[in-house]
Structure 1
Amino acid sequence: MRPVLVYTAARLGIFLATAGVLWLTPLQKAPLFLLLGALLISGLISYVLLSGQRDAMSAAVVAALNERRRRFEEARAKEDT
C-alpha cells in the first residue's frame, strides 16, 4: 500500500503549500475562504501533477482487493468440502 501513502502525502503537501501561499494574500483575514480556496486550487494542481501516482495507487488498491477476493473464495471453497 505504499503508493496510497505516497499519493496521500503528495496531496497533503500540495494542499499545505497552497494554503501557505494563500496565507500571504488578504485571504488570511477570512480563514474559511482561505481553506476553501486552498482545497479547490490544490485539487486542480493534484489532478494535473499527480495523475501517474493516482494510477499507481488505483492499481495497488485493485490488486489488494483481488487478492482478498481470491483468499475469500479459497476459504469458502475449503469450507464447502
Structure 2
Amino acid sequence: MRPVLVYTMSRIGLFLVTLGVLWLLGLANPLLLIILSFVISGVASYVLLSKQRDAMSARISDKIDHPKPQGD
C-alpha cells in the first residue's frame, strides 16, 4: 500500500504547489486557477513521478496476480 500512498500524496502535493505558484503569480479567477493547476500538475507528474507511478503499478499488479489466501 505504501507506493500507492506515496504516489497519491506526491500528486496532491504537486497540485498544491502549482496552485500556490499560479496564485502568487496573480491568477485571480478561481475556476481558471484550479483548471490550470490540474493541467500543469498533471503534465509535471507524468514527467516527475514516473518512478513512483511504476512502483505503484507494480504493487497493484502484484496484488491482483497474487491475492491473499482465504481461510475456511
What TM-score do the two structures reach when normalised by structure 2?
Answer: 0.90
Greater relative contact order, per chain length (Cα 8 Å cut-off, separation 6+): 2
In structure 1, stretches of 5+ residues that fail to align are 76-81
Query: What is residue 13 of structure 1 aligned with on the other side?
Result: 13
User: What amino acid does structure 2 have at the position aligned with 1:26?
Assistant: G
Task: Say how many residue pairs are matched.
Answer: 72
User: What amino acid does structure 1 have at the position aligned with 2:58?
Assistant: A
| Residues 2-81 of structure 1: pairs in structure 2 closer than 5 A | 2-28=2-28, 30-68=29-67, 71=69
What TM-score do the two structures reach when normalised by structure 1?
Answer: 0.80
User: What amino acid does structure 1 have at the position aligned with 2:40?
Assistant: I
User: What amino acid does structure 1 have at the position aligned with 2:56?
Assistant: M
Which deviates further from its counterpart, 17-26 or 31-40? Answer: 17-26
Structure 1 residue runs of 4 or more that deviate by more than 3 Å after TM superposition: none
In structure 2, stretches of 5+ residues that fail to align are none
Identity %: 54
Larger of the two Rg values belongs to structure: 1
